[in-house]
A and B are shown apart, each in its own frame.
Chain A
Amino acid sequence: MKYAKWTILTLLALIVFGFFHYTLPQHDIVRIVNTYQERQDLDDWTRIFWATPDDQATGLINRDVQFIQAVDADGDPRVYRNEDTGWHWPPYFKFDTANLQTEAEDLKSTSAAPQWVSVTHYGWRNVYFSTFPNAVGIKPVAGPDVTIIPWVNIVILTFLAFILFMLRRMWLQFRERMIDPVIEDVEEAWDSVDAQADQATAKARGIWGRFRAWLGTWKSKPRR
């Protein structure tokens, strides 16, 4: 039972962490090497890792997706998709895919004369399921070692913690003002019902009852 509880709690924590890790923006310091466009099939379960542009017909099962190829400071490849999120989840309200692709094209550089950029993105790269993080912004930076403070994440997570705190306060207030008094009332009512019941039994016994009780005292006591 203990194991079941901890398994479920761990799973829940993993799901929450995974949700935020996928959805919140992250920054990579990379060098853009190329951009390309490729037709993608969108008819299996990995569909959830692709965006839903507003102008896409619902029955469409494949379409062209733009990609940005980059290399990070260690020389590891980073490939981003570049898709509109529009009014859909996650709420980046990105409508400027074509502009972003142009910026990426403009910031292309060689390893001989590197131009480092910070790519803001969300999502996961998985080579087995062919999923790509979605780039939402590109900004030139001085070098591969610049530190970027994730202000957006700090603000969002602080705000969510504040909401949880407020919900807890609300619940405690509701319990104190609405539930506890009712429980007290019920307890009081129950006590008075008890007292009334005692009185009623005492009354109902009457003379005949007392006589029977007196008779009962003559009976032999149950053996111990």
Chain B
Amino acid sequence: MIAFVRLAVFGFIGMTAAYFLLSVYSRSVERERLEREWDDDPVSGDDPAARDAYIEAGLQDYRKSLRRKLIWLVYVIPTVIVLLLVYLNDT
């Protein structure tokens, strides 16, 4: 039982670290994409405020996007795999 608790606790810590890293990375890539998009074709010239607003709006959209929600799979997939292994290895 103690071993199970240990697996659950360390597994949760590991998955949380992976979730954190992935979400930071994904947002950073998205922001870079938005910056490039603006710099390639500025909608309203060289106005830094407009650029910031454009990027901010893009990140708002990203917050509601499917890709961001898919990062939750970092928690789901390992848990499902462990349950599958427990089932498959013992039948």
Residues of A within 8 A of B (CB): 52, 54, 86-88, 91-96, 99, 136-137, 166, 169-170, 173-174, 177
Answer whether A169 and B25 are a contact pair too, CB < 8 Å, given A93-B86, A136-B89, A137-B89: yes
- Chosen A-B contacts, 6 in total, with CB atoms closer than 8 Å, are A52-B3, A54-B4, A92-B85, A95-B90, A173-B25, A174-B25
Answer whether A91 and B29 are a contact pair too, CB < 8 Å, given A86-B3, A170-B21: no
Q: Are B28 and A94 in contact (CB under 8 A)?
A: no
A170: chain B residues within 8 A (beta carbon): 21, 24-25
Answer whether A94 and B25 are a contact pair too, CB < 8 Å, given A54-B3, A87-B3, A87-B6: no
Centre residue among A54, A95, A136, A177 by max chain B CB count within 10 A: A177
What's the minimum C-beta distance from B68 to chain A, rounded to whole angstroms? 16
- Report how far A137 CA is from B32 CA in the complex, Å: 49
- Report how far A169 CA is from B29 CA in the complex, Å: 10
Q: Are B3 and A93 in contact (CB under 8 A)?
A: no
Residues of B within 8 A of A (CB): 1-4, 6-7, 21-22, 24-25, 28-29, 31-32, 82, 85-86, 89-91
- Report how far A54 CA is from B6 CA in the complex, Å: 12
Q: Are B89 and A92 in contact (CB under 8 A)?
A: yes
Q: In the complex, which of the residues A93, A136, A137 contacts B82, with contact meaning CB atoms closer than 8 Å?
A: A93
- Report how far A52 CA is from B6 CA in the complex, Å: 14
Known: A91-B82, A95-B86, A136-B89. 17 other contacts (CB 8 A): A52-B3, A54-B3, A54-B4, A87-B4, A88-B3, A91-B85, A92-B85, A92-B89, A94-B89, A94-B90, A95-B90, A137-B89, A166-B22, A166-B25, A170-B25, A177-B31, A177-B32
Which chain A residue shows the least CB distance to B4?
A87
A137: chain B residues within 8 A (beta carbon): 89
A99: chain B residues within 8 A (beta carbon): 90
Q: Are A54 and B86 in contact (CB under 8 A)?
A: no
Q: Are B85 and A93 in contact (CB under 8 A)?
A: yes
* 10 closest Cβ pairs, A-B complex: A87-B3, A96-B90, A93-B86, A87-B4, A170-B25, A87-B7, A93-B85, A95-B90, A88-B3, A173-B28
What's the minimum C-beta distance from B22 to chain A, rounded to whole angstroms? 8
Centre residue among A52, A91, A92, A95 by max chain B CB count within 10 A: A91
Which chain A residue shows the least CB distance to B82?
A93
What's the minimum C-beta distance from B42 to chain A, rounded to whole angstroms? 21
B22: chain A residues within 8 A (beta carbon): 166
What's the minimum C-beta distance from B55 to chain A, rounded to whole angstroms? 13
A173: chain B residues within 8 A (beta carbon): 25, 28-29, 32
- Report how far A174 CA is from B86 CA in the complex, Å: 37
- Report how far A94 CA is from B86 CA in the complex, Å: 7
Which chain A residue shows the least CB distance to B31?
A177
Q: Are B89 and A96 in contact (CB under 8 A)?
A: yes
Q: Are B1 and A54 in contact (CB under 8 A)?
A: yes
